[in-house]
Amino acid sequence: MAERSPDIRPLDLGALQALLERVRDLKVACVGDLMLDRYVYGEVSRISPEAPIPVLRAGQTVAMPGGVGNVARNVAALGGQARLGAVAGDDAAGRDLGQLIADEARIEDFVVRPAGTSTVVKTRFVAAGQQLLRLDDESSQRQSIDDSEAFSSASAILLSDYAKGVVGDGLIAAALTAARTSGAPVVVDPKGRDFARYGAVDVIKPNASELAGATGLPVETDAEVEAALTALLAATSAKAIVVTRAGKGMTLARRDGPIRHFPGRAREVFDVSGAGDTGLAALGLALGAGATLETAVQFAILASGVVVGKAGTAVVTPAELIDAEMSQHAHAAHAKVTPLDELAAEVEGWKRQGLKVGFTNGCFDILHRGHVAYLAQARGWCDRLVVALNTDASVRRLKGEGRPVNDLDSRAVVLGGLTSVDRVTSFDDPTPIALIERLRPDVLIKGADYTREGVVGGDLVESWGGVVRLAEFRDGYSTTRTIEKMKDPA
């Protein structure tokens, strides 16, 4: 039985930053099919008189390494050191590729260039953000390699198979041999129908279409994907399979655990070219840095989600990932701020699930370390924690003019950004007694500066079987003291 997505939370900002530090300068072997990607950008203003086709007036032409070259570019952009092993031709396109690779400071060139070999070139013609045509220039002759110097000293090995001939049996065997020696995980982006030929790699990463092609099974629903992954695990010796499902996210199947569905990130999709390369790079970097498969999948989802918002065969940087995570985090914080009627329905639902609901209240004007510790302790006494904030008018009545320093909306969103807080609401009455009666929490929490008898609503909570808890405040931390320091820094 698969585990469903609600129990899977995205990487939080701290975990993301820690992972980005660990992948910095990590050596990753990127080996497979290399090509030159060209983009011809122009304008269309008329239809050809010769045929019902648009006439493109060419403008700028941009070239970059494609295929495994784009995997290496993404590894480099994310802070790793890519060791690029592939085959290129001894032609003009191959020389262009060589210069593009040399221009990338974090890519080491282990590309072989046999005499007489032609370079694969894909040229895309683009107008108004839309691809009009893709022209593929490639020889029917396939050039393979049986080993690569790129495998040496790599912390992760990525095989990028575009079915151009490089990723043959010899190369796969060499990758697995190198991995056994170094302990590096091997991740494959596959092609074709025979995934068994990749052997006992750590991860095979097909997209949904490739999964369907390899198994002959439908893959539209979660249940269908689960069946296809189960069949593919039985047909291969891979340790795990991660299927990318576009906007539906990714699904992980491993031999020693349940199938898990990871939701995608909501993004405006501009261009999906190369998104699979970005996902492969992120997955490999995370695993090479010692992350769990679950964390690596989350990292790949975030990176792929950012890159589809860019034009062309693009890459993603650590700064862009942090920005995306911060935006997602802000959205999640806003989502925790809940009107009372909606909150009451949620609390009832939590209780039906057997969850213990905690409740606390306060001004929380300038959030400081003492507040964070207090709320963390409160969350430890319950399964879901609701925080009720005094409205701005209520704070003024309690604290005087000049308070609050931060308005209700700001205070609510900041509290919503804490993982210890599950929901935030507000009240304008002198006490939160009406909220307590409506929500009927199981645990009522106040600070240890109160006595049990002085906690408003304590008798009510105990009357329906709940408990009152007094949480400790950290000495030396208070909003009033913080404001005084701001007025008089000395």
- Active site residues per annotation: 277
SS3 106: coil
Q: Which residues of 101-115 are buried (b: 16+ CB within 10 A; e: fewer)?
A: beebeebbbbbebee
Indicate the burial class of 175 (C-beta count within 10 angstroms; 0-12, 13-18, 19 or more).
buried
Q: What is the CA radius of gyration of the chain?
A: 28
CA gap 312, 37 in Å, rounded:
9
Structure tokens at 211: 């999964």
CA gap 452, 213 in Å, rounded:
66
Structure tokens at 331: 């959205």
Q: How many CB atoms lie within 10 A of CB 375?
A: 24
Residue that has been written with the tokens 């001004």 in this structure: 363
CA gap 269, 307 in Å, rounded:
9
Q: Would you say 85 and 62 are in contact if contact means Cβ atoms under 8 Å apart?
A: no
CA gap 298, 189 in Å, rounded:
17
Q: How many CB atoms lie within 10 A of CB 86?
A: 31
Q: Is the dihedral of CA 74, 77, 81, 85 positive or negative?
A: positive
Say how far residue 227 (Cα) sits from the centre of its chain: 25
